Copies of this chain bind each other. A is one copy, B any other.
Amino acid sequence: MKLKVKDIDISSGGPLIAVLNHQDAAMLDLHVMDRIKIKKRGKIETVVVDIAESNKVVPKGRIGVFEEVIISLKLKNNDVVDIVIARKPLSIDYIKKKLDGQKLTKNEIDQIVWDIVHNKLSAVELTYFVAACYTNVMTTEETILLTKAMVKHGDVLKLKKYPVIDKHSIGGIPGNRTTLVIVPIMTAAGYHMPKTSSRSITSPAGTADTMEVLADVTFPIKRMKDIVLKTKGCIVWGGSLNLAPADDKIIAVERPLEIDAESQLLASIMAKKHSVSSTHILIDVPVGKDSKVKNIVEALRLKKEFNKIGKRLNKKVRVLITDGTQPIGNGIGPALEARDILWLLKRDPKRPLDLEKKCLMMCSNIFGMIGVKYGYKKTLQILNSGKAYQKMVEIIKAQGGKEVAAEDIKIGRHSYDVSSTRSGIVRHIDNLFVSRIARIAGAPRDKGAGIYLYKHVGDRVKRGEKLFTIYSESMHALDYAKDVAKSNEVFVVG
């Protein structure tokens, strides 16, 4: 059947979709979510069918195509294309198999990941895959195959160095910006650490958002490699690279239900590390009731799985189970966190000691993994000598930034102090409210917005003494954040 292209001027955000008029669809016996092949100038693309019931949108004889199809087949409005019925992708059968509780083979997982990466699956089909892996949990074997398939169907940073260090903190804790301390320390010690980080999704800042206060974070993989070869390290946004791209597509359909299938979490983390040639990976698992990992049992199970997968991928993996019950560091929000980092690296008395302590512990563990003795002492030396700070400046410059004094980092110009209404010991800080208030104040969109904490759990506080300050660029946002702060118990003092 020959049809005339109508550019419907909208993107599907991934899947290749074409819209047929209901009469043409009936002629070919096609239903919504069936497949057709579109042929044009020797190029062929298989797309998912949607059907227009009204003749207004897509008249008979025409085919409405989404942005992704236009690009893939280099179509123009009114081009005439040839349409034939296509089989469903093989991976549909494999997804059904997993939904039926069966184990998938290497080829099956590989086909599914290929189809995900190449936008061959509709959102509904991909959702079945996620739901299947969530309810019929993948075996370790399957998770390893998923990890490998994710790496295979994406770009790879080949470094040919040993060791290549990496770290990952499982999210949910405000602050906790350890990467920005660990990368300069380990690279100053002479090791390679090509770190990719994420932006915030539901938190006030991701590591990439915070680094962006100091330097660019969006690079193609070739530039990233240049930076790493020059300075040994980098802190770039993983989202702009094409590392394990299946992962981002999976996460997109996990969001609506806030699902976190364990096998996908594991595969996702390990695939991204594997893609940048990491050999030694430290995983930080903060445990707390508002963290991603709620209790120690869950954390231990995750640790076991990480170790198994690490071994099978020929990587050294060490999992640290850490305290996730309160924010780590004083600043929450990109600029406030970046200022903390510079203070810490410059050994300023205002530096957050809890974050420093955690980074020291993590670096010691990394040294331990690569077989270097006296790691703790070594880390402290690198920090105190100013070498870590120098390295950070080097990386910032390599990423297009320039050296800046902590005090010169722009913090939101409106602020509001919240003080304690009683004297006593800080018993609890509510992570969820800290995050929410910082976000309402504008973080991470407004780099300068966020919260600065003066107290942590266990600290003594007097009535009327400041607990935290909210910063914002907008009076309006600040007012709203203030209301939330006042009407909820963010700090429990008793």
Q: How far is the CA of A8 from the CA of B33 in the complex (A)?
A: 21
- The answer to whether B11 touches A8 (Cβ under 8 A) is no
Q: Are A10 and B11 in contact (CB under 8 A)?
A: no
Interchain CB contact under 8 A, A255 and B33:
yes
Q: Which of B8, B88, B124 contacts A127 (CB 8 A)?
A: B124
Q: How far is the CA of A259 from the CA of B97 in the complex (A)?
A: 11
Is A29 engaged at the interface, CB distance under 8 Å to the other chain? Answer: yes
Given the complex of chains A and B, what is the CA–CA distance between A180 and B220 in angstroms? 66
Q: Could you tell me the distance between the alpha carbons of A95 and B124 in the complex, rounded to whole angstroms?
A: 15
**How far apart are A232's CB and chain B's nearest CB, in angstroms?**
34
A51 within 8 A of partner (CB) = yes
Please indicate the chain B residues that have their CB under 8 angstroms from the CB of A3 in the complex: none
Given A11-B57, A127-B128, A135-B136, are A31 and B255 neighbors across the interface (CB < 8 Å)? yes
- Contact: B10 with A57, CB < 8 Å? yes
Interface residues of A in 45-93 (CB under 8 A from B): 50-54, 56-57, 64, 67, 88, 92
Cα-based distance from A479 to B95 in the complex (angstroms): 36
Whether, in the assembled complex, A132 has its beta carbon less than 8 Å from a beta carbon of chain B, the answer is yes
Q: Residues of B contacting A252 with CB < 8 Å? A: 32
B57 x A9 contact (CB < 8 A) = yes
Q: Which residues in B have their C-beta under 8 angstroms from that of A135?
A: 99, 101, 131-132, 135-136
Residues on the B chain within 8 Å of A33, using CB: 255-256
Q: How far is the CA of A105 from the CA of B252 in the complex (A)?
A: 29
Residues in B neighbouring A297, C-beta threshold 8 A: none
A99 CB to nearest B CB, Å: 6
Known contacts A54-B67, A135-B131, A445-B26, A99 near B259 by CB under 8 Å: yes
Of residues A8, A95, A253, A439, which shows the largest number of chain B Cβ atoms within 10 Å of its Cβ? A253
Chain A: interface residue total (CB-CB under 8 A): 48
**Binary interface encoding of chain A residues 252-282 relative to chain B, with 1 for a CB under 8 A from any of its CBs, else 0:** 1101111100000000000000000000000
- Across the interface, do A125 and B445 meet the contact criterion of CB distance under 8 Å? no
B10 with A19: CB separation less than 8 A: yes
A122 at the interface (CB under 8 A from B): yes
| A123 in the interface (beta carbon within 8 A) | yes
Residue pair B256, A122 in contact (C-beta under 8 Å): yes
Q: Which residues of B contact A96 (CB under 8 A)?
A: 257-259
Quick one: which of A201-249 are within 8 Å of B by CB? 201
A123 to chain B, nearest CB (A): 5
Q: Does the CB pair B124–A52 fall under 8 Å?
A: no
Closest residue of chain B to A445, judged by CB? B26
Chain B contacts of A439 at CB under 8 A? 29
Per the bound structure, the CA–CA distance linking A319 and B136 in Å amounts to 33
Asked if A494 is at the interface (CB within 8 A of a chain B CB), the reply is no
* A172 nearest CB across to chain B (Å): 17
List 26 A-B pairs, Cβ < 8 Å.
A8-B9, A8-B10, A9-B56, A10-B64, A11-B54, A13-B32, A13-B53, A27-B445, A31-B201, A31-B255, A32-B255, A33-B256, A88-B256, A95-B257, A96-B257, A99-B131, A124-B256, A127-B128, A127-B131, A128-B131, A128-B256, A128-B259, A131-B132, A131-B135, A132-B135, A135-B136
| 13 further A-B pairs in the complex, CB-CB below 8 A; given A10-B19, A96-B259 | A8-B8, A9-B57, A13-B53, A29-B439, A33-B255, A92-B256, A92-B257, A96-B258, A123-B123, A123-B127, A127-B128, A131-B131, A132-B135
